[in-house]
Amino acid sequence: MAEIGPPERAWFLSVGAFRSPSFALGQGAGLGALAWLRLSNAILVIEHRGGDVTLVDAGWSEAQCRAPLREIGLLQSLLLGVTVREGDDAKAQLARRGIAPDRVRRIVATHLHVDHVGGLDDFPDAEVITTPDELASARARGRVHGFDVARLARIGRLTLVGLDGPARAGFAATRALGPGLTLLDARGHTAGSVAVEVELGGTRLLHLGDAAYTLQEAEQDRPSPLSRRTSWDGPRQRETYRAIAAAVHQPDVVAITSHDPRTWACVEGKVFART
């Protein structure tokens, strides 16, 4: 793994959005359950001392944002309610903040579903961190379960990292990736899902990926219809929910999931810096 300095600043961006009916996320009641929600596809950008950048997830690629029906696929785009435009991709958004793609040295995939790893194409200098369990499961389960194995094979810059560190605060295992950056075992949504914790001065940022679609389903310990339909292991996911529910009540924690509109609203436009 690349040697990278401690985190100096971090911020979130969303690569386009998804449209989803409220009832799929277990939100709204009565006619309100038929409303449409606009979901984020949130990535965490970490700028390190020395200038290197780590991304947590990569969203859709430049090509996928330019031509989603062709590059993601008509059926998949419609099923997921993908709403992207040219310039929504992480590379373009980083460029607007003065960050060239070659500064991105590392991308941690919370898991390998297509909407989290499309943008790997745009950062050829980045090593991609995932777990052995996640890659094995993606290969076994394939496209029908949301993995594009051919794309992963083509990218080929995967570094497999096992979570062999001690349990912490309800998460069953951990792995330190370097100063201020820790992977947390968040299995359940997929076989090797991880959450990523970034320590920045007095704040701990927690990117939970799809370990829960919304914090609400974790806090209420009630999987949404979408979670029930997509999760790899329901009981295992409920254990992760309990760890999430405990973590988000810590006063120094800012936690988001990839697609929760409420957590996205709390971080949009904010820069977290070491003080």
Q: Is 148 in the site for Zn ion (CB under 5 A)?
A: no
Closer residue to Zn ion, CB minimum distance, 182 or 237: 237
Q: Which amino acid is at 65?
A: C
Q: Is 259 in the site for Zn ion (CB under 5 A)?
A: no
- Among 210, 232, 241, 264, which residue interacts with Zn ion (rule: CB under 5 A)? 210
Q: Is 207 in the site for Zn ion (CB under 5 A)?
A: no
Closer residue to Zn ion, CB minimum distance, 148 or 210: 210
Kindly identify the residues of this chain, within the stretch 91-130, that bind Zn ion according to CB under 5 A.
113
Other beta carbons within 10 angstroms of residue 271's beta carbon come to: 12
Instruction: Tell me phi and psi for residue 76, to 5 degrees.
Output: -60, -45
* Pairing assessment for the beta strands 53-56 and 82-83 based on DSSP bridges: unpaired
Going by the DSSP 8-state scheme, the letter that residue 168 receives in this structure is: B
- Minimum separation from the CB atom of position 89 to Zn ion (A): 18
User: Which residues does 77 contact at the CB level (< 8 Å), separation at least 6?
Assistant: 68, 69
- Minimum separation from the CB atom of position 210 to Zn ion (A): 4
Closer residue to Zn ion, CB minimum distance, 4 or 186: 186
- Minimum separation from the CB atom of position 80 to Zn ion (A): 10
| Helix, strand, coil shares, percent, the chain, to 5 | 35, 30, 35
Whole-angstrom distance, CA of residue 224 vs CA of residue 214: 9
- Minimum separation from the CB atom of position 223 to Zn ion (A): 14
Q: Is 134 in the site for Zn ion (CB under 5 A)?
A: no
Binding site for Zn ion (CB under 5 A): 113, 210
